[in-house]
Amino acid sequence: MMDSRATFGADLHVELRGTGLRTGLMDALREAVRTGRLAPGTRLPSSRSLAADLGIARNTVADAYAELVAEGWLTAQQGSGTRVAQRSAPRRPAPPAGSATARPVRGRPTYSLMAGTPDLASFPRTEWLKAARRALTAAPHEAFGYGDPRGRIELRTVLADYLARARGVYADPGRIVICSGFAHGLMLMGKVLRGRMVREVAVESYGLDVHRDLLTDAGLRTPALPFDGVGTDTRALSGLKGAGAVLMTPAHQFPMGVPLHPDRRAAAVDWARGSGGLILEDDYDGEFRYDRRPVGALQGLDPERIVYLGTASKSLAPGLRLAWMVLPQHLVGEVLDAKGSVDWVSSALDQLTLAEFLASGAYDRHVRSMRLRYRRRRDQLVRHLAERAPGIRVSGIAAGLHAVLELPPGTEQSVVRAAAWQGLALEGVTRFRHPDAPPGDGAPVVRDALVVGYATPPDSAWAGALDALCGALAQARGLPSAGSAE
């Protein structure tokens, strides 16, 4: 017969002390409330439930509750049960003057134009919830088990169709592996490459240091390729004798914002074919383009030499932790071995929800809607800069979620500092430059610039963020800040 105590209500952990049961229970509850372990308003178990859990008489618990109510520790109302009473927090003594805690600390910025994040307030909650309900209703029982380390077949099947249609990727479900974000996929590839005795993975002169660090942590060196006026110079790959792979953002270079030149796309693929190397293609925001035709994924040129890495972090939200790799056939087994017994795959229910979201057309509708929203943001940014900060050249805006604002030489850090005083979080291009970046040929490379993520602020903060940006530019240049964003 089932133990009756297992069927009662909410659990409450208390340790009785002393010889008297009622006194010990009252002392334990007072201590839990006093220390904050039981917060004001917390509903306590019924006297019957708690008595069964503690193995004592119900009257003992009822009497203890009643006395604590009389003392003001608890409240009891018909239909609301017994709860912890609302109490004023004890006043803490002020720290002594001169102590570390007494020093003023700059708070969080009011606005953010940091690149790399979409407008999180625009996450399609209603449509996502509908998809989640449909997915949960249709989910087979085995979906709640550990499952295939490649990820749910429903998601991999829909992704194969979507990537082929929208990004020109050659994919079939058997070559797709779902991972918990781009970084997870890159970690797996670093492990695979090191196992293949690769010593170096070439990277672009501009990019995220966290990605370089992931490769370095895998025991790989990360020499930088030159960058010039038409982007990353992949012709230099042939001179890197130790490189067995290259990490690139060919559709929309991050952060400089240019697509990889066709000749350099061809040079990268030729290098991979001739050397047996691999191209790791980071297609982080390929859906968002505005003033040009979409640049297809590089992977379509040689699916057996290019690892395609995509993510929902920019199109939906990074908090979903949903990304995918489309692998050359010969790499699938090695990547699965690298995952090991501890499976870092995202929640099966989130995978099934994304599969339904894609299959229903909701994903395409959301991307189109956000494309229009971000284009309006970009146009407003360019217009306000033209009006309030003339002379600032804006580049890298034909696609993506950020822009590059080119600054006079030697002014980048002063603008970033001025932005901080305006309550604006902002980064300069120096933050993304490889410490060993070689000089490029052709047009000069931008030396001082801001990387402005115009997708990041919610609508309610967008005008304020624009004002803060223009104010920072004026402050750094010693000019008056006139006008404001509408």
CATH number of the domain bearing residue 376: 3.90.1150.10
CATH number for the domain that contains residue 156: 3.40.640.10
> Is residue 35 a part of any domain in this protein?
yes
Q: State the pLDDT at residue 238.
A: 92
Residue 486 has pLDDT above 80, yes or no: no
As a whole number, mean pLDDT of residues 147-173 equals: 93
Separation of alpha carbons 432 and 428, rounded Å = 8
Separation of alpha carbons 245 and 73, rounded Å = 65
> Is residue 416 a part of any domain in this protein?
yes
- Please, which pLDDT band fits residue 343 given cuts at 50, 70 and 90? low
Structural domains counted in the chain: 3
Based on the domain organization, do 191 and 219 belong to the same domain? yes
CATH number for the domain that contains residue 19: 1.10.10.10
Based on the domain organization, do 183 and 66 belong to the same domain? no
Q: pLDDT digit string (tens) for 24-78?
A: 898 889 888 888 888 898 999 998 988 888 888 999 999 999 999 888 899 988 7
Element (H, E) at 244: strand 243-248
Asked which of 76-80, 209-213, 295-299, 317-321 is least confident by mean pLDDT, the reply is 76-80
456 to 186, 371, 407, 462: CA distances (angstroms): 24, 14, 22, 9
Based on the domain organization, do 447 and 424 belong to the same domain? yes
As a whole number, mean pLDDT of residues 157-176 equals: 94
Percent of residues, the chain, with pLDDT higher than 70: 88
Residue 263 has pLDDT above 50, yes or no: yes
Based on the domain organization, do 251 and 180 belong to the same domain? yes
> Is residue 68 a part of any domain in this protein?
yes
Place of tokens 């990353």: 232
Phi, psi torsion values for 462, nearest 5 degrees: -65, -50
User: Whole-prediction pTM value?
Assistant: 0.82
Asked which of 49-63, 64-78, 94-108, 121-135 is least confident by mean pLDDT, the reply is 94-108
As a whole number, mean pLDDT of residues 265-282 equals: 96
> Is residue 114 a part of any domain in this protein?
no
Q: State the pLDDT at residue 261.
A: 93
Based on the domain organization, do 358 and 369 belong to the same domain? no
Q: State the pLDDT at residue 446.
A: 58
Which of 314, 343, 362 terminates a domain? The answer is 362
Q: State the pLDDT at residue 467.
A: 93
Residue 98 has pLDDT above 50, yes or no: no
Place of tokens 């004026």: 474
Based on the domain organization, do 257 and 162 belong to the same domain? yes
Based on the domain organization, do 147 and 280 belong to the same domain? yes
Residue 384 has pLDDT above 70, yes or no: yes
Beta bridge partners of 43: 83
Q: State the pLDDT at residue 443.
A: 44
Mean residue pLDDT of the chain comes to 87
Coil/strand/helix, residue 385 = helix
Based on the domain organization, do 78 and 139 belong to the same domain? no
Residue 236 has pLDDT above 50, yes or no: yes
Place of tokens 């009006």: 387
Q: State the pLDDT at residue 385.
A: 94
As a whole number, mean pLDDT of residues 200-205 equals: 96
Q: What would the two tokens of residue 444 be? A: 């000069």
> Is residue 112 a part of any domain in this protein?
no
Its sign, for the CA torsion 385, 476, 469, 454, is positive
> Is residue 117 a part of any domain in this protein?
no
Q: What would the two tokens of residue 149 be? A: 């380390």
Based on the domain organization, do 337 and 444 belong to the same domain? no
Residue 37 belongs to domain spanning: 14-84
Residue 119 has pLDDT above 80, yes or no: yes
Based on the domain organization, do 356 and 380 belong to the same domain? no
Based on the domain organization, do 211 and 253 belong to the same domain? yes
Q: pLDDT digit string (tens) for 422-436?
A: 899 999 999 999 998
Based on the domain organization, do 196 and 72 belong to the same domain? no
Residue of 418, 410, 417 whose CA lies nearest to 471: 418
> Is residue 27 a part of any domain in this protein?
yes
Q: What would the two tokens of residue 158 be? A: 């829909």
Separation of alpha carbons 208 and 262, rounded Å = 24
Which of 61, 84, 107 terminates a domain? The answer is 84
Which of 337, 362, 387 terminates a domain? The answer is 362
Question: Which regions of 264-322 does DSSP assign to beta strands (E)?
Answer: 278-282, 306-311
